[in-house]
Structure 1
Amino acid sequence: MHEIGLAEAVLEVIEKRAGGRRVAWAKVRAGALLRVVEPSMDQAFRLVAEGTVAEGAAIDLVVTPAQVTCRSCGHQDGVYDPLAVCPSCGGGDVDLSGGDELVLESIEIAEARDVPGNSRRDRGDPA
């Protein structure tokens, strides 16, 4: 399950961006060529996030296509299959580009009142 390694990479970036604040949600964009399976990614992230600022955080996974360019007819299109053929002419002489990215697009910080140990029950504003 290669999603464990991907989840560890995502968690590392989340922790840097969160700056010690608890995270409630994260949006991750993964290229189709990474072949990420959403249920497996959810499970992997839950495992690696235990005991961190992202424990219990939900992951919104958005899979983006790779670009295929046909050398025969010049057609360009987005594809989700790494063994793609040209969707226009059916030719197999194609170039694939992109589709291998893993990007943390955004995170949502949990409100301070939801953070364990915050006795003020406020949004973290100074008193």
Structure 2
Amino acid sequence: MTPDTDQERQNMHEFGIAESILAAIEHRAAGRRVRQARVRAGALLRITEPAINQAFTMVAEGSAAEGARVDLVIVPARLTCRSCGQTTTSPDPFVICPGCGGADIDTEGGDDLVLESIEMAEATHVPGNPRRDRGNPE
């Protein structure tokens, strides 16, 4: 089945990214419930926090990350103008050179997808003697 519209293609793109994020979360969480994840995504991925959270909500259903929120940090791409040599960074990799107005630009980076951190939900029961767990007063 092929997508019929640009919106459907974008949704498929975000679902693929959300599935990758979920796989990384599940690997790190090792079955523990997750409340939140912080993800660094390159500008070339062209995703937004609302869209990735919508896709993540759907793919995480029934997993340890069900109900978790994804905080998205967009990493700008590094752009170098081939005409004048000016280098800059931008969250929009499809810009013209701010120095000369040229459109012949090399793009570097901006395609990363990194799970920076996850926040676990509080445990309702910790097995063992709570008086002997580290951090509890005796």
Whether TM-score is above 0.5 comes out as yes
Which of 32, 56, 60 is residue 21 of structure 1 equivalent to? Answer: 32
Q: Distance in 2 between matches of 1:50 and 1:94?
A: 41
Partner of 1:95: 106
Structure-2-length-normalised TM-score: 0.80
Give the superposition deviation at 1:125. Answer: 5.8
Q: Distance in 2 between matches of 1:28 and 1:81?
A: 18
Aligned residues of 2:48 and 2:72 also touching (Cα < 8 A): no
Give the superposition deviation at 1:39. Answer: 1.4
The size of the alignment, in residue pairs, is: 118
Give the superposition deviation at 1:109. Answer: 1.1
List structure 1 runs of 4+ shifted beyond 6 angstroms: none
Structure-1-length-normalised TM-score: 0.87
Partner of 1:121: none
| Secondary structure of 1:60 counterpart | strand
Indicate the RMSD between aligned Cα atoms, in angstroms: 1.3
Superposition pairs for residues 24-43 of structure 1, below 5 Å? 24-43=35-54
Q: Does 1:3 align with 2:5?
A: no
Q: Distance in 1 between matches of 2:80 and 2:127?
A: 52
Which of 80, 87, 93 is residue 91 of structure 2 equivalent to? Answer: 80
Give the superposition deviation at 1:72. Answer: 2.1
| Secondary structure of 1:112 counterpart | coil
| Secondary structure of 2:53 counterpart | helix
- Percent identical among aligned pairs is 58
Unaligned runs of 5+ in 1: 119-123
Give the superposition deviation at 1:47. Answer: 0.4
Partner of 2:8: none
Give the superposition deviation at 1:40. Answer: 1.3
Unaligned runs of 5+ in 2: 1-10, 130-138
Q: Does 1:57 align with 2:68?
A: yes
Give the superposition deviation at 1:82. Answer: 3.0
